[in-house]
Amino acid sequence: MTTNNVPTYRAVLIGLGGIGGMRAATAAGSAETYGPMPQSHAEAYQRHPQANLTAVCDLRPEALEQFRENWKDVWPDLRTYTDAKQMLAEESPDLVSVVTSDHAHANLVVDAAQTESVRAILCEKPIATTLADADRMIEATAEAGVLLSIEHTRRWDAQHSEAKRLLASGELGPVRTIHAELYSQRAMLFRNGTHQIDLINYFADGDPAWVVAELEEGFDHYTEYQGDGGKDPDSEPYASAYIRYDNGVRAFYNTYKTDFPGSQIVVTCEAGRLEMSDRHGRVIRGASHFEWSSTDLVAGSLMYERIVGALHELIHTLEHGGTLVSDGAEGRKTLEVILAIMASHEAGNSRVDLPLAP
Ligand SMILES: NC(=O)c1ccc[n+]([C@@H]2O[C@H](COP(=O)([O-])OP(=O)(O)OC[C@H]3O[C@@H](n4cnc5c(N)ncnc54)[C@H](O)[C@@H]3O)[C@@H](O)[C@H]2O)c1
């Protein structure tokens, strides 16, 4: 369909938890023109001028009812389903968001990819919880020529995008080491750790070659995903790991369940260093041991950021071609590091070489 000479795309959303369906409280009508950054897929579809959400799906009828109530002024004719396959068949969407829990992405992505009308899928992170599932998703989308983007949100925020640009410019020289930390009661390996591991992969710009790691005490049984979809922090361990990349980058992933919440990542290069947290970023350049300059990492702001940035990139890539910043292969790379961390712990904290057997 085309409106004002701009093509619009039929979209559907599967999974109506917070990140799927939440609507932030804003002054009436303000969200269409200004207001806070979209925090959910529904808000991203509301804001993007080329997306038209026609239907949503959840296994829980009460989630559908709540969604309909929350969004009735925006989408009065929205249709609701409890069966995703039925929705895909009846709605003929172009775009599909998969926002179900971590271990419930694969079948839905495969079903969406095999739906004739579908051209692009935005799937929440982590891509999956097993390599077999990730491979099914990548194969099904590749076979159908459908774009697959994994929503590791920080790849579309202004600060981390600017950091990536600065590193790629060569101004700071080659990356040597990366230290990523995550501390909060939700420092869970799959659910939240995936963001930090994904950032390490993003900045390392190579392939992980081997890993040595230790899980939280009391998690010796954790040899495969045993989480509850990311609800209870006790259902997933925190971890510490050393990740060696094929291009020589040495990375450290260190997390702990603390009351003090936060995360940071430090990228040290041959001629400078980037220090970034969720609050602040700075660039350090050193002329000697005694003279360091420190400036803010000035990121400006992006027209489309975070989830709506991911959606915008998908639509832009559909129309103009190009490579997605977080495609299925990138999502799989992050999952493989998570699984290697578990495998190293299981093997008595010894070195695990990648690639892992699927
Ligand atoms: N990118 C981010 O920053 C970010 C933030 C929060 C959550 N997430 C991710 O988003 C995903 C969802 O998280 P959540 O906290 O909203 O989960 P949730 O468990 O609260 O909600 C998931 C919803 O999906 C529904 N569902 C499950 N299987 C379904 C199926 N086959 N068909 C239809 N509906 C189905 C459930 O009924 C539930 O309502 C997870 O993968 C999580 O890691 C990402």
What mean pLDDT comes out for the span 99-114? 98
- Verify whether ligand 1 is closer than 6 Å to residue 227 (CB atom): no
> At a CB cut-off of 8 Å and minimum separation 6, what does 336 contact?
131, 208, 354, 355, 356
- Verify whether ligand 1 is closer than 6 Å to residue 14 (CB atom): yes
At residue 225, what are phi and psi to the nearest 5 degrees? -55, 125
In this structure, the residue with its CA closest to atom 33 of ligand 1 is: 58
Question: Distance, CA 18 to ligand 1 centroid (Å)?
Answer: 8
pLDDT confidence tier of residue 112, bands split at 50, 70 and 90: very high
SS3 sequence of 136-196: HHHHHHHHHCCEEEEECHHHHCHHHHHHHHHHHHCCCCCEEEEEEEEECCCCCCCCCHHHH
Task: List where CATH 3.30.360.10 sits in the chain.
Answer: 155-302+334-353
Q: Does the pLDDT of residue 27 top 60, yes or no? A: no
Name beta bridge partners: 295: 283
Q: What is the pLDDT of residue 290?
A: 86
Q: Which CATH architecture does the domain made up of 2-153+305-326 adopt?
A: 3-Layer(aba) Sandwich (3.40)
Among residues 288, 89, 350, 133, which one has the least CA distance to residue 225?
133
**CA 133 – CA 108 distance, rounded (Å):** 11
Task: List where CATH 3.40.50.720 sits in the chain.
Answer: 2-153+305-326
Report which ligand 1 atom has the smallest distance to the Cα of 19.
16
Q: What are 304-340's pLDDT values in tens digits?
A: 999 999 999 999 999 999 999 999 999 999 999 999 9
Range among 133-147, 274-288, 292-306 rated most confident: 133-147
Report which ligand 1 atom has the smallest distance to the Cα of 307.
1
- Verify whether ligand 1 is closer than 6 Å to residue 31 (CB atom): no
Give the lowest-confidence range in 37-46, 78-87, 117-126, 197-206: 37-46
What mean pLDDT comes out for the span 249-261? 96
Name beta bridge partners: 352: 211
Question: Distance, CA 21 to ligand 1 centroid (Å)?
Answer: 10
Report which ligand 1 atom has the smallest distance to the Cα of 152.
1
Report which ligand 1 atom has the smallest distance to the Cα of 18.
16
Q: What is the pLDDT of residue 301?
A: 84
- Verify whether ligand 1 is closer than 6 Å to residue 127 (CB atom): no
Q: Does the pLDDT of residue 77 top 70, yes or no? A: yes
pLDDT confidence tier of residue 35, bands split at 50, 70 and 90: confident
pLDDT confidence tier of residue 1, bands split at 50, 70 and 90: low
- Verify whether ligand 1 is closer than 6 Å to residue 151 (CB atom): yes
Q: What is the pLDDT of residue 6?
A: 79
CA angle, 309 as apex, 82 and 340 as ends, to 5°?
75
Write down the CATH superfamily of domain 155-302+334-353: Dihydrodipicolinate Reductase; domain 2 (3.30.360.10)
- Our mutation pick for probing the ligand 1 site, out of 13, 16, 19, 81, counting the most ligand atoms within 8 A of Cβ, is 19
**CA 144 – CA 136 distance, rounded (Å):** 12
**Strand-strand pairing, 120-124 and 95-98:** parallel
Q: What is the pLDDT of residue 56?
A: 98
Question: Distance, CA 173 to ligand 1 centroid (Å)?
Answer: 40
Q: What are 43-63's pLDDT values in tens digits?
A: 999 999 999 999 999 999 999
Q: What are 159-170's pLDDT values in tens digits?
A: 999 999 999 999
Q: What are 115-132's pLDDT values in tens digits?
A: 999 999 999 999 999 999
Q: What is the pLDDT of residue 183?
A: 94
